Amino acid sequence: MQNANLSTVSEFVFVGLSDAPEIRLLLFVLFLLIYLATMAGNIILLVAISTDSHLHSPMYFFLGNLSLLDLLCPTITVPKMLKALLLEHKEISFSGCMFQHFSLIDVVGTEIFLLTVMAYDRYVAVCHPLRYPSIMSTKLCAQLVMGTWATGLLNSLLHTSLVFTLSFCGPNKIQQYYCDIPPMLALSCSSTHSRELVILAVAGVLGSSACVVTVVSYIYILLEILARNSPGIWHKAFSTCGSHLTVVCLFYGTTICTYVRPSFTYSPHRDRVVSMLYGMFTPLLNPIIYSLRNKEVKCALKRVISQV
């Protein structure tokens, strides 16, 4: 790179998941099947939500956006990993790495904010059922979704600018199967302390804000359930909120373990496993969780599959 304040490294090399040809082939088949299953599950869910009139409500509008994010998240990283496993082509250009990093942080950040919006939607549905249609209007839902995508975009711009304006003049082997914040910081030959503090502060403020809104929403839901104490209220509330709560715990747990911590705790092997959980398995599990716990989604999926 010509610009000294950016980088003297023109490309990076991913460290492979395995050097043994037979293991690489096995991993290729496994991850390809997971990727195809993720694509199929989320596409079918999107088709069901868009075509079935029973699912034209705020909850499923948000769920459709979640499925779209779950399509994008593995698509950003998995094809490159599959190519490296099959063809041993592990190189990625500096600009390609930056774009991959930007796209992934954008999608992950947007999903965190979208899950927060979905928690608020569940709070209104349980605590204010009669006012739900007027509160969660089409206009408000569109504004909330646009806000989550815009916030994710701005968050990604900040993180990408902080990471890729560092100097990379030494080793160029990324201890991961995609360009992520911790391994990129570990490769920099300039001081990363101040930028780490900014990254942790921004991630802490945005992440804790999203977490607080989610927790408070469920506290109010719990208090409302206890106050009513009517027969079947627990089952109804669990069917309404159980899927979202399961997805929130799964997604928050893996992303917090990856991003909200200082770089000296970075462990390549552990981080590869954790990143696969939220980058590959969570997008696979989300449509399964929602379809298994929701009768309306089950019926809509059956109608879509029967038509196909």
Question: What are the domain boundaries of the chain?
Answer: 14-307
Q: Is residue 61 over pLDDT 90? A: yes
Whole-number pLDDT of residue 105 = 92
Q: Is residue 4 over pLDDT 70? A: no
What is the pLDDT of the chain when averaged over all its residues? 82
Amino acid letter for position 187:
L
Query: Quick one: average pLDDT of 86-98?
Result: 85
Query: Quick one: average pLDDT of 109-136?
Result: 90
Query: Quick one: average pLDDT of 233-258?
Result: 70
Whole-number pLDDT of residue 289 = 80
Whole-number pLDDT of residue 75 = 94
| 8 A C-beta contact, residue 210 and residue 118 | no
Q: Is residue 37 over pLDDT 90? A: yes
Q: Is residue 144 over pLDDT 70? A: yes
Whole-number pLDDT of residue 1 = 42
Tokens 């089952």 appear where?
235
In this prediction, what percent of the chain has a pLDDT beyond 90?
A: 28
pTM, two decimals, is: 0.85
CATH topology for the 14-307 domain: Rhopdopsin 7-helix transmembrane proteins (1.20.1070)
